[in-house]
Amino acid sequence: MKKIISLFILLVITINAQDYTKESKEAKDLRMQWWSDARFGLFIHWGLYAIPAGEWNGSTNHAEWIRTTAQIPLKEYYKFVEQFNPVKFDAEEWVKMAKDAGMKYIVITSKHHDGFSLFDSKHTDFDVMSTPFKRDILKELSDACRKYGLKICWYHSIMDWHHPDYLPRREWETDRSAEGADFTRFFQYLKNQLKELLTNYGEIGVLWFDGEWEDTWNSHYGIELYNYVRSLQPNIIINNRVGVGRSGMEGLTKAGEFGGDFGTPEQQIPSTGLPGVDWEACITMNNYWGYNKFDKDFKSTKELLQMLVDITSKGGNFLLNVGPTAEGLFPQESILRLKEIGEWMNLYDESIYGTEASPFNYLEWGRSTKKTLGNNTRLYLHVFNWPKDAKLVVPGVLNKPVKSYVLSDKQKVLLHTTRNEDAIVINVPLTPPNENVSVIVLDVEGKDEIINPPAIINPINIFIDKLDVIVNTDHNDVEVRYTTDGTTPTMNSDIYKDRIELRNTSTITVRSFRNGKPVSNVARESFTKVIPEKPVKVENPEAGVNYFYYEGIWENLPDFNSLEPVKKGTSSNFDITLRNQNDYFGFQYSGYVLIPRDDVYTFYTDSDDGSKLYIGDKLIVDNDGLHGMQEKKGIVALSKGFHRLKVLYFERSVGNDLKVLIEGGGIKKQIIPDSMLFHDR
C-alpha cells in the first residue's frame, strides 16, 4: 500500500512539475484541433460595470474600464455589488443564441480588471455570491454549454484593481495605500481562483488571460501560470496574454518570447495569413467590450460576416464580443446580428469549419478557404464584390477544374467553367445568391497548384533620381516578365533578372510565365519621381526640441494649441518622462531635424496611446487614437539641411511610451538621434 501511495505522490509531483511549454508541435496541434476546426467563438464581457452601462457623472464614454476611466474609489464601486441582480439572465438562452450563430465556444469574463468574480469563489467576497443575485453564473453557463455542445472558456484578468496585494495601484487611487501589498501573495490568490475555475466547472476549453501588461508581471510568472493551469487541465488551451510576449493590439507574439498557445490580435485582423501561427482576432460588435447603453455604433452583419470570412481565409479564429446588460440580456442589436450570422452559417458553414487558409495571396473580389477532399481540392470562393459580367475569374490556378456550383444551391446545379490563360473563369448567376457574402465551390483535380503573382517588394514608391525595383516570386520554376508602362506583360516583354532600374515615374507590371504561357495574375505598382522638400534656414540652431506639456483626458489627440500647457521647455529628444503623472497627459514637441543628404526618408512613431508626426505643415505619420504600443510610418523626400519637425503625443491610461524613428539617407531605421534634433534659440 505504502508503495502505491508513494507512486501516486510521485505521479502528482511529476504532473505538477511537468513543463508543458516543451510540448511537441504534433501534441499541441492535436490538443488545439477542436479550436482550429471551430474557427468562431463568442466573447462575453459582463460584470458590475454593466450597471452604470458606460455613464458616470455625465460622461458616457465608459464601459468595463469605468472604475479606472471614471476614477471611482473602491468603496463607491462596491455599491454596485448590492445592485447586481440580473434577474433576466438565462444561460441556456445565451448559449442557444451562440450555437445558432454557428459559434463553437464561449469565452466569458470570470474576472475582469475590476477584480469582481462572476463565480462563487471561496477566496474573495468580491464575487457574485455577495450580490442579491447569489447564483454562480459560470456554473449555469458551463452547464448550458455542455448541454448544447459548446466549449466553455474563461477570460481571467491578471490585472486586478481590487485585491489589496495587486500592484501597481492606479495613480489616482490615493485612498488605497499599497502599504503591505505583497505581489507573490496576489500570485497565489490568482492560482487559488484558477484552481476553482479549473476544478469546479468540468472541462474548460480555453483560459484567456488578459491584463498582463503592467510591470509587476513577467514571463516567469507567465510560464509558471501556464504550467499550473495545464497541470490542472492538461488539454486546456491558453492564449499568449499569460506571459508578456504579446506585441500590443497587433496581438501576435514577439520573436523569442513565450507566447502560450495562440496570438490575440485585438480589434484588428492581420493583413495576411500567418502560416504555422495559431491566432484568434477578438473584435467588438460596437465600440466597447462591456455594455455601454449609448453606443449604437454596431458593425453591420455584412461587415461581421466579411470579417469572419477574412479571418478564416487567413487561418485564424474569430472571437466576436457581446456586452450583456445589467438585467442579464444581450443588447437587441447583438441578438439581431447573431441571428443573421446564423442564417448565413446555416447555408455556408461548410466553407468555414475545418477549412485551411486560402492558397491565394490576394483575390480582388473576395476571399477563399479550402479543403482536401480525397484526391481533389475544394476551393470555397467567398465573393464580396459580385462580378457585373457574371464571370468570376479565379487567377493562377493550374489545376484542371472538376466542377463548380453555388454552395447554397441545394440542387448543386453545375456552373460552366472555362480557362483563360492562368485563370479559371466561372459563369456565375447574374445576381449574387447572398446579400452579405456569396460562396462558390470550385473543385479542382489533385492538390491545389496556385501560382500567385510575383511580389513587388519595394516598401517605398517615390524616388528622387533613380530607383531599383525588386521583384520576387515564391515559385522557382517560373519566368517573371515585366513592363514599365502599366500594360500587361506578354512573352515579348522583358525578363526580370535582379532589379528594374527606374529614372522616371513608371508603372511596373509583373507576371509569371511557364513554357511560354502566363501562369499567374499580374501585380502592378506605380513609382513616382519627386522633388525633395526644400530645407529651411535656422538662424541660431541649438541642440534639442521645444516641448509643451499638457494634462487632460482624451480619446484622440486634442488641438494642443487651444490648451494651456502645464509646463514647457527644451528636451534632447521626444522625452515623455518629463511628465508629471503616468496617465492623462500629452506633449507637443517642435523643432528641426537636420537631414544629412537628399533622399526619401521614412519616419515612424511607435506609441501608446496616440501620436502624429509632421514635417513642415505636412502630416507624415498618423498614429492617433487609443491603442497599445503601435507603430505607424510615413515617407517624404527631403533635401539636405534643416526641416521643421513637430511630434504630438497623448496618453490616456495604462501603459505609456513614445518612440520616434527615422530611416533613409544612409541611416538604418533607428530612434532619431539627439544629434539630428534642433530648435531655434
Q: Under the rule (CB under 6 A), what is the footprint of ligand FHN? A: 64-65, 210, 266, 282, 289
- The conformational region for residue 260 under phi > 0 = left, psi -120 to 50 = alpha, else beta, is left
Closest approach of ligand FHN to the CB of residue 42, in Å: 13
Separation between Cα atoms, residue 321 and residue 116, nearest integer Å? 19
Q: How many CB atoms lie within 10 A of CB 129?
A: 15
Dihedral angle of Cα 69, 64, 342, 362, to the nearest 10 degrees: 50
**Cβ-based nearer residue to ligand FHN, 107 or 545:** 107
Closest approach of ligand FHN to the CB of residue 554, in Å: 18
Closest approach of ligand FHN to the CB of residue 367, in Å: 24
Closest approach of ligand FHN to the CB of residue 168, in Å: 15
**Cβ-based nearer residue to ligand FHN, 216 or 408:** 216
604 φ, ψ (degrees, to nearest 5): -130, 145
What is the CB-side half-sphere exposure of residue 105 using CA atoms within 13 A?
A: 27
Closest approach of ligand FHN to the CB of residue 36, in Å: 20
32 φ, ψ (degrees, to nearest 5): -95, 0
359 φ, ψ (degrees, to nearest 5): -85, -5
- Give the residue from 302, 301, 311, 308 showing the smallest Cα distance to 334: 301
**Cβ-based nearer residue to ligand FHN, 64 or 583:** 64
- Which residue bears the cell 459580385? 386
Maximum pairwise Cα distance, the chain: 92
Separation between Cα atoms, residue 310 and residue 369, nearest integer Å? 9
- What amino acid occupies position 527? F
- Give the residue from 261, 278, 267, 335 showing the smallest Cα distance to 301: 335
**Cβ-based nearer residue to ligand FHN, 209 or 549:** 209
**Cβ-based nearer residue to ligand FHN, 289 or 614:** 289
- Give the residue from 120, 126, 145 showing the smallest Cα distance to 44: 145
Give the per-residue SS3 of 429-484: CCCCCCCCCEEEEEEEECCCCECCCCEECCCCCEECCCEEECEECCCCCCEEEEEC
Separation between Cα atoms, residue 198 and residue 238, nearest integer Å? 13
Closest approach of ligand FHN to the CB of residue 173, in Å: 17
Cβ-proximal residue to ligand FHN, closest one:
289
**Cβ-based nearer residue to ligand FHN, 246 or 679:** 246
Which residues face 659 on adjacent strands? 606
**Cβ-based nearer residue to ligand FHN, 289 or 601:** 289
**Cβ-based nearer residue to ligand FHN, 266 or 599:** 266
Closest approach of ligand FHN to the CB of residue 138, in Å: 17
- What amino acid occupies position 147? K
Closest approach of ligand FHN to the CB of residue 289, in Å: 4
Closest approach of ligand FHN to the CB of residue 374, in Å: 40
- Give the residue from 249, 160, 345 showing the smallest Cα distance to 628: 249
Positive or negative CA dihedral for 584, 588, 589, 595? positive
**Cβ-based nearer residue to ligand FHN, 107 or 637:** 107
Q: Which three cell numbers stand for residue 62?
A: 465608459
**Cβ-based nearer residue to ligand FHN, 153 or 510:** 153
**Cβ-based nearer residue to ligand FHN, 248 or 634:** 248
What is the CB-side half-sphere exposure of residue 492 using CA atoms within 13 A?
A: 2
**Cβ-based nearer residue to ligand FHN, 44 or 576:** 44
Do strands 151-157 and 105-111 pair parallel, antiparallel, or not at all (unpaired)?
A: parallel
**Cβ-based nearer residue to ligand FHN, 39 or 241:** 241
**Cβ-based nearer residue to ligand FHN, 396 or 628:** 628
Closest approach of ligand FHN to the CB of residue 420, in Å: 45
The SS3 of residue 323 is coil
**Cβ-based nearer residue to ligand FHN, 64 or 160:** 64
Separation between Cα atoms, residue 354 and residue 356, nearest integer Å? 7
Separation between Cα atoms, residue 248 and residue 252, nearest integer Å? 8
296 φ, ψ (degrees, to nearest 5): -105, 15
- Which residue bears the cell 472558456? 153
The SS3 of residue 101 is coil
Closest approach of ligand FHN to the CB of residue 191, in Å: 21
Separation between Cα atoms, residue 391 and residue 427, nearest integer Å? 5
Separation between Cα atoms, residue 679 and residue 277, nearest integer Å? 46
Closest approach of ligand FHN to the CB of residue 320, in Å: 12
Q: Which three cell numbers stand for residue 395?
A: 487567377
Closest approach of ligand FHN to the CB of residue 136, in Å: 22
Closest approach of ligand FHN to the CB of residue 302, in Å: 23
Residues 6+ apart with CB under 8 A from 343: none
Contact 356, 315 (CB under 8 A): yes
Closest approach of ligand FHN to the CB of residue 155, in Å: 7
**Cβ-based nearer residue to ligand FHN, 111 or 382:** 111
**Cβ-based nearer residue to ligand FHN, 289 or 603:** 289
Planar angle of CA 208, 213, 218, nearest 5 degrees = 90
Residues 6+ apart with CB under 8 A from 631: 604, 605, 606, 623
Helices (H), 18-88: 25-38, 66-69, 74-77, 79-83
Closest approach of ligand FHN to the CB of residue 628, in Å: 6
Closest approach of ligand FHN to the CB of residue 75, in Å: 23
- Which residue bears the cell 491584463? 211
